[in-house]
Structure 1
């Protein structure tokens, strides 16, 4: 009798459908999957039949979910809904026990899975590593590691970057440098923000041995969603240069920064570019450029292959720098 009861229970659990979220579109289509994220006018629905599908929020009639989700109607305050229930077109019901609440879809700015402690904390980034070995008349070993990460909570966004490059030619060190940067953004509204940043570069071999920059200025976020992001910033920077012979320069400069990435082919391919173009306000240098551009192909949810080109240029200074670096490597993202 007991074994028969267990068998019936097992069959009922096997027959029960897996819980899934449902999205109804205004054209009458009905899609099932798992709601991953909504931001910037795009609802990302993970499906087992088409992978990750980005839906235009304006085309969504209503939706439902049995999972707990964080619903944000403004940039700071969010409501944890135990589940979402379908409503009339253009609306959704937030179910929180005894007091369900119906809201307009147009009023929702973000939907995400709530995080412990800090509910609307989002964190993403990637680490790219490239190794290049050449054995010929001149043997070359090149090691390159880059980290880029970004975290956001409410109106604040933290941006961090770090990189290390070391190259040997016939056993002799030909390149040895590293850099680190931290920038903090405070959003004033949906698009405008104010940025403060600190950057440090150190080179063991070049004439320009150290670059330190502190800057601040306004920025504009064109978009930031699951399909990519694009922002620009104009900064007033204070830079300090230290040369290998002990000389130093310090000056103010105007800088224009950009940060762009775009996902294609179901988020399996990512195009990215970032950098800064600077113009010193004195005759220390004519201009500076620190930029990168590349392509990243995702093999799994966390692993990717990447290829990129990096340019570091300081023109017209005591220790001119003109370096271009190409790399092909493996990356880890989150």
Structure 2
């Protein structure tokens, strides 16, 4: 019984060490965990004893990993390595069967875990909250809550987002609106997908009180990896507008949507932008724009500080809309 127990412990330890990646530092330290990403300055190692640890790339001596990793020397040139083997200081061996290749660590621009076209369920998202209270000659209370989430299973991707804005000036409500959107993507291959979406906006203050949009069209995913994602979609939309005076408009439009985010400095900083610009097919409006851009700084693995700017415009309609909002707040992500 004792021998069997010892054998099980030995096999468990061997399998754990086989799964773990190893990073040797130039000062002689050795760290084990799982390599998540290298973005040109920081190597992020995920550990069970310290969470995600960003390591200065200049301090790394060599690496070892049994993961399949994409090693990129620039934005175009890249090689998928089946494993990484340690080499002399400042180098690493890309193991690809009978033709291993030794490269300088200084020549590596990115290390990314490749994503398969068909994969199990993945779910990511974030919720951002900001509040601003000003007490002076003119008192102002400002509240802003928004969320964005994505879930992917196989070739299907679900996208949902929502936002609520409310502002008081001297106890008089000056802003009161909310928005919700759901989009479903069906991937045709690694990059191309077809999207269908529904969007609803409600504003209790501006002349343009309600916007309902139903659209569909093709999209292209330029990249989606540990360092971020970028996609474009071109849509044919059916839009319905309702104004404060009771008038209504409905029309078709052509639109382009974008969704971009990029992690920097070992995934501690994220820059992001998403939105849509549309051109109505008819004389209802000249164009419409709904966009946001901002930056998040990760305080912990799940908490972040964020600042962003939002722009919402409808030009040439019976009730022109032109809103710009700047927010600074706190968020959580997963």
Output the TM-score relative to the length of structure 2: 0.73
How many Å separate the matches in 1 of 2:51 and 2:232? 37
CA distance in 1, matches of 2:311, 2:161: 16
Number of the residue aligned with 1:89: 95
Contact map agreement 2:70 2:114 (CA 8 A) in 1: no
Q: Secondary structure at the match of 1:319?
A: coil
> Following the alignment from structure 2 to structure 1, what is the Cα–Cα distance between the partners of residues 196 and 82?
41
1:128-176 deviation per Cα after TM superposition (whole angstroms, max 9, x unaligned) = 0000111111100000000000010010000000000000000011000
Q: Tell me the distance in 2 between the aligned counterparts of 1:49 and 1:296.
A: 19
Matches within 5 A, 1:54-65: 56-57=70-71, 58=79, 60=81, 62=83
1:35 to partner: Cα distance: 3.0
Tell me the number of residue pairs that the alignment of Structure 1 and Structure 2 aligns: 272
**CA separation in 2, counterparts of 1:131 and 1:297?**
18
Structure 1 residue 202, shift from structure 2 partner: 0.1
Q: For the residues of structure 2 that align with 1:279 and 1:175, how far apart are their CA atoms?
A: 26
Aligned to 1:303: 303
- Please give the residue correspondences for 1:155-194 in structure 2 after superposition, counting only pairs within 5 Å: 155-194=155-194
**How big is the shift at 1:246?**
1.0
Deviations 1:67-109, CA, capped at 9 Å, x for gaps: xxxxxxxxxxxxxxxxxxxxx9325xxxxxxxxxxxxxxxx95
Tell me, in whole angstroms, the C-alpha distance in 2 between the residues paired with 1:168 and 1:109.
48
Aligned position for 1:330: 330
Name stretches of at least 5 consecutive residues in structure 2 with no aligned partner. Answer: 25-29, 38-42, 58-68, 72-78, 86-93, 98-112
1:205 aligns with 205
Using the alignment, how far apart are the partners of 2:210 and 2:133 within structure 1? 28
What CA distance in whole angstroms lies between the structure 1 residues aligned with 2:254 and 2:51? 50
Counterpart residue number, 2:268 = 268
Residue 290 (structure 1) aligned with residue 296 (structure 2): no
Aligned to 1:96: none
- Give the 3 Å change call, closer, same or farther, for CA 125–291 of structure 1 in structure 2: same
CA distance in 2, matches of 1:237, 1:36: 42
2:135 counterpart of 1:129: no
Call closer, same or farther: CA 1:123–1:50 in 2, change over 3 Å: closer
Whether 1:140 aligns to 2:140 is yes
> Alpha carbons of 1:181 and 1:49: their partners in 2 closer, same or farther (altered >3 Å)?
closer
Distance in 2 between residues matched to 1:167 and 1:287, nearest whole Å? 27
Distance 1:36 1:288 in 2: 43
Counterpart Cα distance in 2 of 1:211 and 1:293: 22
Partner Cα distance (1:49, 1:211) in 2: 44
